[in-house]
């Protein structure tokens, strides 16, 4: 019984690590994207507009 619980826990931890890494990579991409847009437009509203349109 304990062995099953441990394997489920390991799968859950692995899933969380994958989820966190995906979120981190997405966050980095968004930061780079916003910085890239920042070179073309200093208006934050335009950056937000482009970001929302990109979603």
Question: How does DSSP assign the chain, residue by residue?
Answer: -HHHHHHHHHHHHHHHHHHHHHHHHHHHHHHHHHHHHHHH---HHHHHHHHHHH-
pLDDT in tens, 1-55: 577 888 999 999 999 999 999 999 999 888 788 777 766 655 667 767 777 787 6
Domain count, the chain: 1
Q: Taking the model in full, what pTM does it have?
A: 0.50
Query: Which residue range is the domain that position 49 belongs to?
Result: 2-54
d(CA 17, CA 39): 33
């Amino acid at each position: 019984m304990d062995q099953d619980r441990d394997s489920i826990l390991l799968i859950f931890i692995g899933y969380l690590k994958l989820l966190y890494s995906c979120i981190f990579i997405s966050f980095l991409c968004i930061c780079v994207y916003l910085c890239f847009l920042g070179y073309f437009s200093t208006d934050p509203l335009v950056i937000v507009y482009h970001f929302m349109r990109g979603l």
